[in-house]
Amino acid sequence: MENNPYAPPSSQIPTEEAKTSPVARFFQVLAGVLLIIFSLLILIISIMGVVAGIRHLFSDTIQNAIALAQLLGAVLFLVLGIWLMKVGIRLVSGKKKPEEANRKPIWVKLFLIYVSMGAIGMVYSYLIMSSGTLPMTPEQRAYFDNLGMLYYLLIFSSTLLNLAAGITLFRLRAIAVKLLLISLILNPILMLYTVFISGYSPASSAEQILSLISSLVGMGILIAIFLYSLNLKKQGKLT
């Protein structure tokens, strides 16, 4: 290949790190630090869950199916925590793998992990509540019994929609945008049903406020991912 006399010296060609603006680098480091902290919490909780699951397998107080589900869920969370730790360290260090350009966007992977963790948690919560192994007051038991089949239909549908959206977005399919839109419509319906139709909750005011905040945060994440998927579609990255 002939040398171009008008080309700048190689020392003056900006590297990939130099192309990153200080603001973008700041948010990248911030996201990495938060991810590391979050992964540490997941690792601690998952290790405790593994220990508790093993102990429950050899106990007569909890059904083996519940104990096995708890153990498998804890192991999955442990693997996810290790992977998130590696991602956080990579974001903080700013290092990229050689094949990084051909890899899927990191937010697509994180959203799939988020919805997968939500699905595991929902199934586990349903199992321990339906089996009666979770200690509850008569008021709490009456509240959950009053939720009815429509509530469980809505929450299972919402969970499956989120999981399907996460999988299709991970595969960079355009149908993920429609699935996310349907989920955004279904989630407020589920929130309204839980608050106004299912009856009075026996939870304390602080617990109700925390539940409302977590629901709003979940809605915010869905809206952000929906807008992100729209941007990916406009860029032609979804097929």
* Structure confidence by residue, pLDDT tens digits, 195-235: 666 555 555 566 666 667 777 778 888 888 898 898 888 88
For the cut 50, the answer to whether the pLDDT of residue 17 exceeds it is no
Q: Which pTM does this prediction carry?
A: 0.61
Torsion of CA 146, 70, 46, 103, to 10 degrees: -90
* Structure confidence by residue, pLDDT tens digits, 33-68: 888 888 888 788 888 878 877 887 777 766 666 667
Mean pLDDT across the chain: 75
Q: Taking a C-beta distance cutoff of 8 angstroms, is the pair 84, 42 a contact?
A: yes
